[in-house]
Amino acid sequence: MNYETIIGLEVHAELLTASKLWCGCSTAFGNEPNTQVCPICLGLPGTLPVLNEKAVEYAVKAGLALGCRIAEWSRFDRKQYFYPDLPKAYQISQYDLPLCREGRVVITVDGLSREVGILRVHLEEEAGKLVHSGESLHGSEYSLVDYNRGGIPLIEIVTAPDLRSPEEARIFLERLRTVLRYIGVSDCKMEEGSLRCDANVNLRIKDEEGEYRTPIVEIKNLNSFRAVERALTYEVRRQVDEFMEKGRPPAGTDLSRTKVTAGWNEALGRTYVQRQKELADDYRYFPDPDLPPVVLSSEQVEKWRAELPELPEEKESRFRREYGLPAYDAAVLTASRAVADLFEETARLTGDAKMVSNWVMGEVFRLLKGAGDDLEQALRHCSITPAALAELLLFVKNERINANSGKEVLEEMYRTGKAATQIIAEKGLEQISGRDQLAGLVAEVIAAHPGVVEDIKNGKKAAIGFLVGQVMKATKGKANPKLVNELITQSLS
């Protein structure tokens, strides 16, 4: 049996506008429930939506960064369903005329470039948030609703079914996050729900009987990159097993229109069926009569395009060109705009791009990874700025401290937020690089170990390391090891 995995993603990203999509309420995260609400976002009788133009700008910029065509004329539609977190019982969304269509994103999988189609990017409003006394709405004694989130602008990004493995899906999602963060339209925090993903997956199986497609399963609300990859991996396996066990359905069964909605249980590591749909849900979409169409001039769109920052792809090739970085390093350093900025600015301040890239990808990443898998968030929340890092690296570069001390200082900087100079002074880490200061010590060590000196003179050059070690020990590691080595060699020759 031979099969191909077919995955398409629907991604929701909250936009970073200061106010909500239809009213002036704040979009800030984490405040007391129902403190960021007004008659409009509560959907009180008689209220009307007024479009936040910043949200249109952000959605269009997202579309442009994803290579989409921008519609000159688009409109808002009502998507209707009843749910306690939806105050109007319809979500204002875009149906057949979205703002952006037909884009593409290039990802690198196993060193190879793959293109993933973007079917559409549209603008819509966020719903409120339910807090249940029990496990879920069903079966809880009571549920509470917080409408602070209701009405925050969202973009929905729908990919073509171009992804061929769970790993590709995760890589695509990471790339998407990188792009949206680069252009500053979304902070894409999966843990806070500002980036969410639904994944559609099925298999195209080829065997001696011909080709067969398994029913599409839509896994809802995946809220971490790991969950996306794990859930898809599980689901692919499950679909393979099911086919192996049951084979094809009886002739005449049409499963092509069947779609199963599934959830993902992170703790158990498995998907579970939520409901089976015979046909698409009937949301009774129709144009919202409260909102005029969105008409965008090409001048406006071009102005927004011109405002876009350098995108990751461009930055990556520039880093290779300008700093002579290997492809891998350039890709890693540009995967986050904050990291790229840290690298580039620190390189400018120290004049040593190679050194900076080694330190950033090595020590800095090691520290940041301790704070979770979101490097960019960790970096933004720590005290390692280009200026601070450059200060430290200049100590190392100028051999005023050795590399090991440098690592120690960086860790201290990361932990306490103190400056490198202060830490080095407090700990007395500055290297002893004066020949005069070290000459006496070297002479003492040589005098104290005649046996070793004999060995060296007899050609056992490696024993020099022992003598260097003794000098280092005597200086509590502050001696410049290169200089010590040089001095020992000199006096023994």
Partner 1 sequence: MKLCEMTAYELSAALAERRVSAVEVVKAVFERIDAWEEELRCYITLDREGALAAAREVDAERAKGAKGTKGAKEANSRPLAGIPVAVKDNLSTRGLPTTCGSRHLQHYIPPYDATVIEKIRAAGMIVIGKTNMDEFAMGSSTETSGFYPTRNPWDTARIPGGSSGGSAAAVAAGEAVLALGSDTGGSIRQPAAFCGVVGLKPTYGLVSRYGLGAYGSSFDQVGPLARDVRDTAMLLQVLAGYDPLDSTSIHREVPDYLAALGGDVRGLVVGLPQEYFSPGIDSGVRAAVLAAVKVLEEGGAIIKEVSLPHTEYALAAFYLIAPSECSSNLARFDGIRYGYRAAGAPDTVTMFCRSRAESFGPEVKRRIMLGTYALSSGYYDAYYLKAQRVRTLVKQDFDKAFAECQVLVTPTTPTTAFRLGEKINDPLAMYMTDICTIPVNMAALPAISVPCGLVGGLPVGLQLIAPVLQEELLLRTAYYYEQAAAPLSHCPKPEPKPEPKPSSEVSK
Question: Which candidate, 274, 299, 334, 343, places its Cα nearest to that of 60?
Answer: 299
Give buried/exposed letters for 303-315 (b at 16+ CB in 10 A, else e): ebeeeeeebbeeb
Judged by CB under 5 A, how many residues of this single chain contact Zn ion?
5
Please identify, using beta-carbon distances, which residue of 125 and 374 lies nearer to Zn ion.
125
Q: Hey, what amino acid is at 16?
A: L
Q: Which option in partner 1, Zn ion, none does residue 41 bind, with CB closer than 5 to 8 A by kind?
A: Zn ion
Please identify, using beta-carbon distances, which residue of 132 and 318 lies nearer to partner 1.
132
Please identify, using beta-carbon distances, which residue of 85 and 486 lies nearer to Zn ion.
85
To which residue do tokens 């843990």 refer?
191
To which residue do tokens 């060995």 refer?
455
Alpha-carbon distance of 287 to 96, in angstroms, equals: 10
Alpha-carbon distance of 432 to 42, in angstroms, equals: 68
H/E run at residue 219: strand 216-222
What are the CA-CA distances from residue 492 to residues 215, 436, 445, 448, 467 (Å)?
A: 79, 17, 12, 14, 11
Please identify, using beta-carbon distances, which residue of 22 and 414 lies nearer to partner 1.
22
Q: Is 152 in the site for Zn ion (CB under 5 A)?
A: no
Q: Which option in Zn ion, partner 1, none does residue 286 bind, with CB closer than 5 to 8 A by kind?
A: partner 1
Please identify, using beta-carbon distances, which residue of 18 and 327 lies nearer to partner 1.
18
Alpha-carbon distance of 48 to 41, in angstroms, equals: 9
Q: Which option in partner 1, Zn ion, none does residue 8 bind, with CB closer than 5 to 8 A by kind?
A: none
Q: Is 127 in the site for Zn ion (CB under 5 A)?
A: no
CB of 150 to Zn ion, least distance (A): 8
CB of 194 to partner 1, least distance (A): 25
Residue 359 falls in which region: left (phi positive, over 0), alpha (psi -120 to 50) or beta: alpha
Q: Which of residues 7-36 bind Zn ion (CB under 5 A)?
A: 23, 25
Task: Candidates 39-47, 59-67, 233-241, 424-432: pick the segment binding Zn ion (CB under 5 A).
Answer: 39-47
CB of 288 to partner 1, least distance (A): 8
Q: Which residues bind partner 1 (CB under 8 A)?
A: 39, 42-51, 78, 80, 82, 84, 87-90, 137-138, 145, 280, 282, 284-286, 289-292
Q: Which option in partner 1, Zn ion, none does residue 403 bind, with CB closer than 5 to 8 A by kind?
A: none
Q: Is 51 in the site for Zn ion (CB under 5 A)?
A: no
Which of 6, 11, 21, 41 contacts Zn ion by CB under 5 A? Answer: 41
Please identify, using beta-carbon distances, which residue of 40 and 231 lies nearer to Zn ion.
40
What are the CA-CA distances from residue 59 to residues 38, 64, 185, 286 (Å)?
A: 24, 9, 8, 21
- Quick count: other Cβ atoms within 10 Å of Cβ 470? 20
Alpha-carbon distance of 128 to 69, in angstroms, equals: 31
CB of 278 to partner 1, least distance (A): 13
Q: Which option in partner 1, Zn ion, none does residue 244 bind, with CB closer than 5 to 8 A by kind?
A: none
Site residues (vs Zn ion, CB under 5 A): 23, 25, 38, 40-41
